[in-house]
């Protein structure tokens, strides 16, 4: 892929998140594409993304996704992101990275890498403590 094609992909991906538009996501996916994320109990097919987005919207209607940075090499694109929402009256920020393998300009494989500890602590009401005090 050319640099312009990759830039277009990143722009369309960020726009799909900004709009939380399931159809825009589907347009980015190869028919056999898959999503692997620690946030869901199984691998998701690209054709299921619209449903996954609906579940996410219901669980976190104020959820905002932001593109922080990205890079690419060949058919691999890596995007760093941050999400924000209000939980119990306070802002909650959380970061992660998505690694995409593109085929014919569409996602054939997406893997989400993120620390789920802040989300688990939020769910249980625990205070997240650093592992090492320095």
In this predicted model, what pLDDT tens digit does every residue of 59-97 receive, in sequence order? 888 889 999 999 999 999 999 999 998 888 888 898 999
> How far, in whole angstroms, is CA 87 from its chain's centroid?
19
Looking up residue 21, the CATH number of its domain turns out to be: 3.10.450.50
Asked if residue 24 is part of any domain, the answer here is yes
The residue written with tokens 């620390």 in the block is: 115
- Asked if pLDDT for residue 119 goes beyond 90, the answer is no
Which residues face 86 on adjacent strands? 91
| SS3 at position 94 | strand
134 falls within a domain: no
In a domain, 17, yes or no: yes
pLDDT at 125 over 90: no
**Does 129 reside within a domain?**
no
Question: What pLDDT score does 124 carry?
Answer: 86
Looking at the structure of the chain, the number of domains it has is: 1
- Determine which of 14-18, 36-40, 56-60, 78-82 has the lowest per-residue pLDDT on average: 56-60
Helix (H) or strand (E) holding 10: helix 3-19
């Amino acid at each position: 892929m050319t640099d312009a094609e990759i830039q277009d992909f990143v722009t369309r991906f960020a726009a799909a998140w900004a709009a939380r538009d399931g159809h825009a996501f589907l347009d980015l996916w190869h028919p056999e594409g898959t999503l692997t994320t620690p946030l869901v109990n199984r691998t998701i097919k690209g054709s299921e993304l619209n449903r996954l987005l609906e579940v996410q919207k219901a669980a976190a209607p104020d959820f905002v996704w932001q593109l922080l940075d990205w890079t690419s090499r060949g058919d691999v694109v890596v995007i760093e992101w941050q999400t924000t929402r209000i939980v119990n009256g306070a802002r909650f920020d959380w970061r992660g990275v998505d690694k995409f393998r593109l085929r014919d300009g569409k996602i054939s494989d997406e893997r989400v890498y993120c620390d789920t500890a802040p989300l688990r602590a939020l769910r249980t009401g625990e205070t997240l403590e650093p592992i090492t005090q320095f």
